[in-house]
Amino acid sequence: MRYVVTGGAGFIGSNLVDELVKNGHDIHIIDNFSSGKKENCNSKAEVHSLDISECKNLKQMSEVLNGCDAVFHCAASARVQPSIADPINYEKNNTIGLINILKTAVDSNVRRFVYSASSSAYGPTDQLPSYENDPVNPISPYAAQKYYGEITCRMFSEVYNIETVSLRYFNVFGERQNLGGAYATVIGIFLNQLSKNIPLTVNGDGKQRRDFTYVGDVVNANILACNSPNVGKGEILNIGSGKNISIYTVAKMLSNSIEFKKALKEPFANLASIEKAKKLLDWEPQTSLESWIERNKNV
């Protein structure tokens, strides 16, 4: 099969590309390399340096998508805090970019569109675990944009007859995660600090809890979502581990040298109900955070 992965030079996208190539598919990467890295790109995939948020690139995007069976849309300006600092650029990349690639997929007769959504759409909630039909409460531009993307995908299924499915990721970690800069997540930050032999920094008291999901499990969810006959009408599926753990506990797994910093405005906890993904995709996570850290903390 011929597949297109937007953001295929990024953390999740490049891992997905590797698996699709390994399975013998013809893979095309679209990336503007604003955060993705050329060294992440699989040598057997064809790379197209394109910014999907620019309407002037629609013709080139159409040429890439021509004859494509499915699009995996992993491209995005990611992370909550940077979106608060730069909401206009985030809106352009995460909203206009999505509309452009979706409409191009429709015009190119693409069968299915798999959208990388985000658990940040739930926002602060005392009701855990979170189910896909729970109320949403996005508290950042990034979260609002990712939620709007789900609505857009469902609308495109109804109006333009393209199969879509949205996967709400919970705190993805694993190989090629960013270790520094604005796009780094807590696991990447900890590993970077560990490599520099400096104390791990914990925001607040560290009691906030997160549901961490291994990138290989996210890749598997994408592939199942692409092929499952049970989805395609704009469904939303949580992709998480189904359990959460405190940030302080994660830090202690890695080091005894910990510093506490000022708390950030963020949800206290998240936790995914993954029953829907189990039922519709026959998907379950295979790799725990604890086992991955044990294998990688001294690498």
Enumerate the active-site residues: 142
- Of the candidates 296, 220, 286, 282, the one whose C-alpha atom is nearest the C-alpha of residue 18 is 220
In sequence order, what are the residues at sequence separation of 6 or more whose Cβ sits closer than 8 angstroms to the Cβ of residue 265? 139
Q: Residues 12, 58: contact at Cβ < 8 Å?
A: no
Two structure tokens written together for 297:
């903390």
* Tokens of residue 50, six digits: 């394109």
**Side-chain-side CA neighbours of residue 84 (13 Å):** 10
Separation CA 275–CA 287 (nearest Å) = 17
Length of the chain: 299
Q: How far is the C-alpha of 58 from the C-alpha of 184, rounded, in Å?
A: 30
Q: Helix 247-254 and helix 289-296: axis angle, to 10°?
A: 30
Burial degree of 265 (CB within 10 A; 0-12, 13-18, 19+): exposed
